[in-house]
Amino acid sequence: MRKILVLTISLVLATGLASGLALAAKEKAKEAKKEAFKYEDPIGVVKIKPGQPIHIAYWFVVAGPDASLGTDTKRGVEIAIQDKGGKLLGHSIKFTGQDTGCNAEGGQAAATKLASDPTIVAAIGSNCSSEARPGAPILWKAGIPTVSPSNTAPYLTDPKRGPEYEGYLRTAHNDKVQGAVAAEFAVKKLGVTKAATIHDGSVYAEQLQAVFAETFKKLGGTITAQEAVAPTDTDMRPVLTKIATGKPEFIYYPIFIAAGGHITRQVKEVAGLEKVYLMGADGMFSPDFYKAAGEAAVGMFHSSPDFSAFAAGYKDFLDKHQKKYGEKPLAPFHAHAYDAAMMVFAAIEKVAKKAPDGTLYIGRKALRDALYATKNFKGITGTLSCDQYGDCADPRIAVYQTTEENVKKLVMPDKPFWKPY
Amino acid sequence: MSEAVKDPVGGPETASGPPPGLQRRHGEGMLRKLLERFTATDLIMWLIGGGILTLILAGSAATLSAGKYTIKHWIDFMVFGLAQGSIYALIALGYTMVYGVLRMINFAHSEVFMSGPYTAYFVAAFFHRSGLLESHPVLSMFMVLLVSMAASTLVAYLLERIAYRPLRGAPRLVPLITAIGASFFLQYTFRGLYGSGFQAYPVVKALERQWDILGIRVLGFQVVVIAAAALMMGALYFFVQKTKMGKALRAVSEDKESAALMGIDVDRMISMTFIIGGMAAGAAGVLYALMFKQVHFFMGFIPGIKAFTAAVLGGIGNIPGAMLGGIFLGFIESLGPSLFLDGLGIVAPYQLKDAIAFTMLVLVLIFRPTGILGERLAVKKA
């Protein structure tokens, strides 16, 4: 009995030793291989084995009332992937993502989900600036750089933004430009002297109206009111009545579709505002806005990227878009999304190294640095050059006016009404 | 000391009542009882309530003395508030009636409200395309109203039959959670059916006119909204108070078992409650669509929460209370930011509209824990 026991124990020990030895040998062999190919990165390295895809993620608002913004940008990225033939450095491109809901909570949730996936190389997003504020630091903590095609709030690329935003870049314009163009338009083209603004508490709208008010005052105008509503509000008549007491000639409300539609519809019902000029921004420059606002949108102004100043490639893009989705773009940022994706692809191509066994190594810090080093990149929105805070856009903003034809056919105007340059 | 002073004054009156000694002992007992009942919590609550009230009064005084708004503005604010409040009131009826009968909060009621106008949108859009809305506005709006009420009623009825009836007699938390689940289910069912985007209600030209009533400028649809809501609330009140079925409803609400013993079909009465609530919500939905001209699958959420607040404000379970609560809430939302926040120097006060509505709820509940009209009912059912 005891003999058997001793025998078994020794047998077990022997096998254990043997396997241990074998393991050590394997490790050694691996190390030898590693020595031949070295790739290090202070934050981390993404290793992609042959046959595995390169994983790019989006975090866009693809559901709910502001879904047109996210769908539009998502399609931009999809066309960029299609133009690459779906392949990068011999690997296929995997494109997945999360919905962000156009609010801070949604952005935080989406970024947390993306950050937990170690296969993600880079992200494209977010759409609304409120999402990026909590979301971008979460992604960068996980070493994922993100390029936004449609965040425009100045804060995100402000010198004071803090190191947690170091992985953040954008191909969209900074609202320091957009707000100033709107104010110049009001003063120089329309000749108004009294204006009121409304924001919805979002980072985007709050900062955009602040830039507008500042520029408007600098140009000699008076701001009669700077009001705010909640994005879920429906009854805007009381706040508009309050604004009417200041007798403005111009109301600037750079907010989103739902609340913006209610304001547009209700303005003309308020005594004293029947003849006021209305102006919104790129956040509601979408056929969905015409659905929400109806005929009340006729004659209203929007500031938005100047499509006529885009590079030659834009026409091609529109043809591909029409062929692939059977309709015109839904919002203004599809081209910026295309450029963001192309910028990410170019940076990956620059930093990725192939090991002898075919595994692709991408350093996270190296990728971020390569993105920030983007200079004179020929995109379809213009020539992109990133500054040290991640502003890469070539900003050309124009003002558009909505006609009856636009509302009836639910298409955005394609010829600018006024340009600052 | 004070007792000694008080006694001679009370003396002559007590001649016919109990002897003075007894009365004094009785008074002391009352005082002690009062002191016992008056806890630190009460003190803090009253301080908070008093603080809010002082702020409101100070703010209002500052605004009124600044003279930024004319009488015309205030009247405009009140008309806006009345129109919005009537819609809250109609939705609140559904919450309050279900609570009165079943003691449960039907959180899916906001989806009952959404289902009507969203379904009726397709009818309205069809009338708009065919030109019927232009040529026969009254007839076509009536049809839209009927479709909306029918859809909401159907949803409310099925909700009760499928989601709530099997759970009757279960602990109170179970139907509550079911209601929340049903709310999500309905929301996303309608999203699947009709899509996640906005739909814009066609504009009824006949209602876009402005009327001058006694020098007050009123918009056409505001008149329709307020008049229709008043009419429906009147009809409902008549139904519950004066008809035989209304009497049965009230009996079920007071005591289900006794009502069943008296030969009332309790299940039928509960279905009836949901049907009436659904009809009111469907009508409110069309009025909402007339006012805001937009529908989407999530539209019920905020009005639902507000209407629930209105129902609690007026005293949940009490029908006139829900009407009063709704209109009170509409007024507060419309007038409040300009009236007292403006005076307190708060920037962009309309952002705080919702905060004001809920602060008012807290204020009312501090001073009247059962709601504005809720007292009688709470005593009876406690």
CA angle at residue A144 from A138 to A145, to 5 degrees? Answer: 100
Report how far apart the first and last C-alpha atoms of chain B are (Å, whole number).
40
Question: Cβ contacts (< 8 Å) between B203 and chain A: which residues?
Answer: 294-295
Residues in CB range of B278: below 8 A, 6 or more apart: B94, B112, B116, B149, B152, B153, B154, B155, B156, B157
* Averaged pLDDT for residues A391-419: 87
- How many A×B Cβ pairs under 8 Å? 99
Nearest Cα of chain B lies from the Cα of A245 at a distance, in angstroms, of: 7
Euclidean distance between CA atoms A31 and A40, whole angstroms: 14
Flag whether residue A359 sits within 8 Å of chain B, measured between CB atoms. Answer: no
Question: Cβ contacts (< 8 Å) between B293 and chain A: which residues?
Answer: 265, 294
Report the residue from A64, A232, A241 with minimal CB separation from B73. A241
Which chain A residue shows the shortest CA-CA distance from B299?
A: A232
Which chain B residue shows the shortest CA-CA distance from A196?
A: B348
Among B63, B68, B76, which would you mutate to test the A interface (most chain A Cβ atoms within 10 Å of its Cβ)? B76
Question: Cβ contacts (< 8 Å) between B296 and chain A: which residues?
Answer: 65
Report the residue from A228, A271, A288 with minimal CB separation from B350. A228
A416 alpha carbon, distance to own chain's centre: 23
Euclidean distance between CA atoms A84 and A320, whole angstroms: 13
pLDDT value at residue A15: 60
Among B71, B82, B198, which would you mutate to test the A interface (most chain A Cβ atoms within 10 Å of its Cβ)? B198
Q: What is the DSSP letter of A284?
A: G
Question: Cβ contacts (< 8 Å) between A262 and chain B: which residues?
Answer: 292, 294
pLDDT value at residue B379: 45
* Averaged pLDDT for residues A380-385: 90
Q: Is the peptide bond before A126 cis (omega within 30 degrees of 0)?
A: yes
Which chain A residue shows the shortest CA-CA distance from B332?
A: A238
What count of other Cβ atoms lies within 10 Å of the Cβ of residue B106? 30
Report the residue from A230, A262, A271 with minimal CB separation from B217. A271
Burial grade of A347 (CB within 10 A; 0-12, 13-18, 19 or more)? buried
Q: Which residue has the tokens 């019927």?
A: B132
Flag whether residue A68 sits within 8 Å of chain B, measured between CB atoms. Answer: yes
Flag whether residue B76 sits within 8 Å of chain A, measured between CB atoms. Answer: yes
Assign a CATH topology to domain B73-367: ABC transporter involved in vitamin B12 uptake, BtuC (1.10.3470)
Q: Would you call A271 and B84 a contact, using CB atoms and an 8 Å cutoff? A: no
Q: Would you call B350 and A67 a contact, using CB atoms and an 8 Å cutoff? A: no
Report the residue from B76, B333, B351 with minimal CB separation from A271. B76
Nearest Cα of chain A lies from the Cα of B153 at a distance, in angstroms, of: 25
Alpha helices in chain B (DSSP H): 2-14, 20-37, 40-66, 71-102, 109-130, 132-135, 137-158, 173-194, 220-242, 244-254, 256-261, 266-292, 301-314, 319-336, 353-367, 375-381
Q: What is the pLDDT of residues A356-367, one digit of tens each?
A: 888 999 999 999
pLDDT value at residue B16: 47
Euclidean distance between CA atoms A288 and B50, whole angstroms: 47
Report the residue from A232, A235, A242 with minimal CB separation from B338. A242
Q: Would you call B298 and A64 a contact, using CB atoms and an 8 Å cutoff? A: yes
Paired tokens of B365: 């509940």
Confidence of residue A11 (pLDDT cuts 50, 70, 90): low
Which chain A residue shows the shortest CA-CA distance from B211?
A: A269
Q: Which residue has the tokens 């910028």?
A: A343
Flag whether residue A299 sits within 8 Å of chain B, measured between CB atoms. Answer: no
Pairing outcome for strands A146-148 and A120-125: parallel
Which chain B residue shows the shortest CA-CA distance from A272?
A: B73
Q: Would you call A262 and B294 a contact, using CB atoms and an 8 Å cutoff? A: yes
Flag whether residue A268 sits within 8 Å of chain B, measured between CB atoms. Answer: no
Which chain A residue shows the shortest CA-CA distance from B83?
A: A235
Domain boundaries, chain B: 3-38, 73-367
Pairing outcome for strands A120-125 and A54-60: parallel
Among the residue ranges A20-29, A245-254, A371-380, the one predicted with the least confidence is: A20-29
Paired tokens of B95: 């919450």
Confidence of residue A58 (pLDDT cuts 50, 70, 90): very high
Query: What pLDDT tens digit does each residue of chain B (382 aa) get?
Result: 344 444 444 444 444 444 554 455 566 667 777 777 777 888 888 888 888 888 888 888 888 888 778 888 888 888 889 999 999 999 999 999 999 888 888 999 999 999 999 999 999 989 988 888 888 888 888 999 999 999 999 999 999 999 999 998 888 889 989 999 999 999 989 988 887 777 888 888 777 777 777 667 778 888 888 999 999 999 999 998 999 999 999 999 888 889 999 999 999 999 999 999 999 999 999 999 988 888 888 889 989 999 999 999 998 888 889 999 999 999 999 888 888 888 888 877 888 888 888 888 888 888 888 888 875 544 444 3
Nearest Cα of chain B lies from the Cα of A64 at a distance, in angstroms, of: 6
Euclidean distance between CA atoms B266 and B175, whole angstroms: 18
Among B70, B75, B80, which would you mutate to test the A interface (most chain A Cβ atoms within 10 Å of its Cβ)? B80
Q: What is the DSSP letter of A188?
A: I
Flag whether residue A118 sits within 8 Å of chain B, measured between CB atoms. Answer: no
pLDDT value at residue B160: 93
Length of chain A: 421
Angle between helices B71-102 and B109-130 (to 10 degrees): 120
Check whether A226 has a pLDDT greater than 60: yes
Q: Would you call A230 and B347 a contact, using CB atoms and an 8 Å cutoff? A: no
Which chain A residue shows the shortest CA-CA distance from B339?
A: A242
Q: Would you call B294 and A261 a contact, using CB atoms and an 8 Å cutoff? A: yes
Q: Would you call A288 and B219 a contact, using CB atoms and an 8 Å cutoff? A: no
Q: Which residue has the tokens 């499928």?
A: B162
Euclidean distance between CA atoms A126 and A111, whole angstroms: 9
Euclidean distance between CA atoms A45 and A121, whole angstroms: 9
Question: Cβ contacts (< 8 Å) between A61 and chain B: which residues?
Answer: none
ipTM exceeding 0.85, yes/no? no
